[in-house]
Amino acid sequence: NAGVTQTPKFRVLKTGQSMTLLCAQDMNHEYMYWYRQDPGMGLRLIHYSVGEGTTAKGEVPDGYNVSRLKKQNFLLGLESAAPSQTSVYFCASSYRAGGINGYTFGSGTRLTVV
């Protein structure tokens, strides 16, 4: 099993450019999440989804949009990238509500906005 796969692994953007990060899971999980990780800040929830066709805002949603058109995919979009969005982005998925059995994380996307 591949688990949770994130693409791309690295990306450099110029301020104002747009991009989409793709997360794919093959575990038939209902719930999917996008986090960003910054030094000293831990993991902060951006957006999440409790099922196909649903999305909800997390702790730091501003500047990001998401879509969950297919159960196995969760896309994170940056419409107009800003240097403050330089971060490592992690996608995660879980089978049960709230991740009682824990989340499975991808290996991350390192994004630099210059």
Partner 1 sequence: GQQLNQSPQSMFIQEGEDVSMNCTSSSIFNTWLWYKQDPGEGPVLLIALYKAGELTSNGRLTAQFGITRKDSFLNISASIPSDVGIYFCAGLNHGGSQGNLIFGKGTKLSVKP
> Is 69 or 97 the residue whose CB approaches partner 1 more closely?
97
The reply to whether 34 sits near partner 1 by the rule CB under 8 A is no
CB 4 within 8 A of CB 106: yes
CB of 112 to partner 1, least distance (A): 15
DSSP structural state of residue 110: E
CB of 61 to partner 1, least distance (A): 13
Looking at residue 10, its amino acid is F
The reply to whether 61 sits near partner 1 by the rule CB under 8 A is no
Question: What's the CA angle centered on 31, arms 6 and 13, to 5 degrees?
Answer: 30
Q: Provide the mask over 66-95, with x wherever binding to partner 1 is found by CB under 8 A and - wherever it is not.
A: ------------------------x-x---
Q: What are the contacts of 69-72 at 24+ separation with CB within 8 A?
A: 71/28, 71/30, 72/24, 72/25, 72/26, 72/28
Contact residues for partner 1, defined by CB under 8 A = 4, 33, 40-43, 45, 48, 58-59, 90, 92, 97-108
